[in-house]
Every structure is written in structure tokens, then in C-alpha cells.
Amino acid sequence: METRTWRAIVAYDGTDYRGFQVQAEGPTIQGELERALERLTGAPVRVQGAGRTDAGVHAMGQVISFAAPWRHSPDDLCRALNATLPRDIAVRRVDAAEATFHARYSAQSRLYVYHVYASQERLPLLDRYAHHMAAPLPLEELNRAAAFFLGEHDFATFGQPPVGEITVRVVHRARWCALSTEALGLAPEEVHLYRFEIEANAFLRGMVRRMVGALLEVGAGRMGASDVAALLEARDIRQACPPAPACGLCLWQVRYGQGESPQERSGEE
């Protein structure tokens, strides 16, 4: 049977996994996907991901690519995968791809989001996907600090390159916003819900969580916006703030080509 190149959009709850990439010990997203594909196709399959999410990090729009023999339609493959994978991993869409397509190297940018909720007491149903803070966040100051990340910079303070030594990245978007808690049935005076969006051409290992960690120091009043600029200028990972907890981080979308993403092709956002 002919082997073809495929790409898929994958969502997962990363709480119980050691991250996306296969590890020597412990369950991983890549490992579960490869096991499911081998079971369905009868052949070993290597999966490439657009982002190597860390342990405990989630995804709504992770993109994967793989070469596998499959005689049926992409929709059939999508359904078969979802019937085989664990319940905390779901394939949203499968498409046939050009042989040259690579989920990681073909990507133009990646969008991550980080969720925070503020309340006097913890809310266990939010804890799995958002980081808890006791006091509301000062959005204006947070966005003033986040603006220092925009553009091309050396982000050596905030992460390590997965390969090589280059630590320069280009950030296209870095902003905080408040979200409504109405849909959750929570009164605005009881709980405040926030979302941080960061999009870049690529990220260093641990970069997003260290960036958010610094911004949360600003939110807690222990640092000012100018301190974030000083951290960026230092280019020294030894000066980094502790990384924000993994639970709040989610790989939201990956863009390809001229700003196009698989989600946009399917009419999704």
C-alpha cells in the first residue's frame, strides 16, 4: 500500500503526560499518537509536531505530520484515530499533505495562550486549565510590560534553543485581556478570568512560561514593566523569574504559508 504524507490538528489535555515529545519514561502525546497509528495502519509511524509542549501543557491546535499507509479517506482516518486514542487526546481534522510538508519546519508562527483566574479561594474546576492568583491583575500594567516582547529580540533570558545556539525570535503578538465569567455561572466580583496571547515565529524551550512568570510578577506588584525590559536586555537565563505553572498554558494555533493555518482552511478559529 502506498505511503502518503498526512497532517492533522490535535487537541489534548496535557495534565497526565510528560509532554508532547517521546520520553524514555512516562506517557507522551507523540507516543500515544504513534501507537494509535501503528495499530490502525499495521506499520511503524513517526509523528512530527509543530510544538514540543512541555509536561502538563495543553493544546487546542497542535499540528502534526506523518507518513503512513492508509487506503481510506482523511475523515475515516480522523474517526479511526479518535476511536483508538485515549479520551484526553482528540484529532480535530486530518488532511492529505504535500510530501514536503513538515508540521514543525513548515510553520510560520505559533500562538500560545495562558489562562489565569483570580479569586480569594481556589476553584478546582478551573485549576486544571488556569493558574490561580488571589488578587485581580492590573491589565494596563501587564500590557505595558508585555509590549517589550514585541518584535525581534534575543530572548536568552527566557529560554534555551532546542538545537544550536541562536536565541533570537520574532514575537508578533503579546497581549492580555479579561474574559467574561458569565458562561461559567460565576459573578464578576467573585472571579476574574484572564487570557494572555503570545504569537511568534518560534519559541525557545520554556520561553512562554518564563515570560508569563515575569509578567505575573508584575501582576503581583513585585516587579514593574521596566523590570521586564531589563530582563530581556540582560540575555541571561540565570536572571529569569520562575516559570508560570504548566496548567495554564495551551498551544492554540499554528499558522502556515501566508498567515494561513489548517484551522482557517476549515473555517475554524
Quote the DSSP letter at residue 265.
H
Task: Dig out the grid coordinates for 247 from the structure.
Answer: 496548567
54 tagged catalytic = yes
| Of residues 108, 160, 145, the one with CA closest to residue 222 | 145
Quote the DSSP letter at residue 259.
T
In this structure, the strands spanning 192-200 and 3-12 are unpaired
Measured on CA atoms in the order 99, 102, 105, 111, is the torsion positive or negative? Answer: positive
Indicate the angle between helix axes 74-84 and 29-41, nearest 10 degrees.
120
Task: Dig out the grid coordinates for 207 from the structure.
Answer: 520561553
Q: Which residue of the set 13, 16, 54, 127 is catalytic? A: 54
Q: Which residues contact 201 (CB under 8 A, 6 or more apart)?
A: 108, 109, 169, 170, 172
Amino acid at 4: R
Contact between 131 and 158 (Cβ < 8 Å): no
Q: In sequence order, what DSSP letters do the residues of 136-203 get, joined into one string?
A: ---HHHHHHHHGGGSEEEE-TTT-B-SSSS--EEEEEEEEEEEE--GGGT--TTT-EEEEEEEEES--
Q: Which residues are annotated as catalytic?
A: 54
